[in-house]
Amino acid sequence: MAPPDRFVIDTMLGKLARWLRALGYDALYFRAAEDRQLLRLARAEGRTLLTRDAKLARLAGSGGLLIRANEVEVQIAEVVERLTLAPGRENLLSRCLECNTPLEDRPKETVRGLVPEHVFATQERFVGCPGCARIYWQGSHADRILARLEKVLEPPSDSTRA
């Protein structure tokens, strides 16, 4: 069976939802939601439910995953390992971290005035969210998340560590 690529994230795991989006996964997250709403959504849309609530994870059965780690870096590693995800580099930063909408390329001229002047002057590649209108570029918050994800995606080999 192919690893899951669509998720619904329990209310306590907002940071994890952003990290999954940074990896390009479709990760729905609500600040407030009842367990039965999350379960219904997961089943209706074939999404894997990620939760810190053991009871909710039990109710979700094979469609759920109980997150044990506290730190988001460890949580994302836990999800990747236990669900045998293989996030591709080509999918990095393909979804809005804030609202989960797929991002679109934005030609540089179209973001003039929408990003800080020094950013416009020094950056060449931009992507934008059609959902919430956010613009992302190298060095934006998204890229700081990606830098930390490198460790998850490409653990240092013994040769580079020596």
Q: Is there binding between residue 63 and Zn ion (CB under 5 A)?
A: no
- The Cα 44–Cα 162 span in angstroms is 49
Tokens for 154, please give them. 């490409």
Task: Choose between 83 and 99: whose C-beta lies nearer to Zn ion.
Answer: 99
In the complex with Zn ion, which residue's Cβ is closer, 5 or 98? 98
Instruction: Report the nearest approach of Zn ion to the CB of residue 91 (Å).
Output: 16
CB nearer to Zn ion: give 65 or 129.
129
Residues 81-100, interacting with Zn ion (CB under 5 A): 96, 98-99
| Least separation in angstroms between CB 132 and Zn ion | 3
Based on the shown chain and the rule CB under 5 A, indicate whether residue 12 belongs to the binding site for Zn ion. no
Residue pair 93/137 in contact by the 8 Å Cβ criterion:
no
Distance CA 67, CA 75 (A): 7
- Is 131 a binding residue for Zn ion by CB under 5 A? The answer is yes
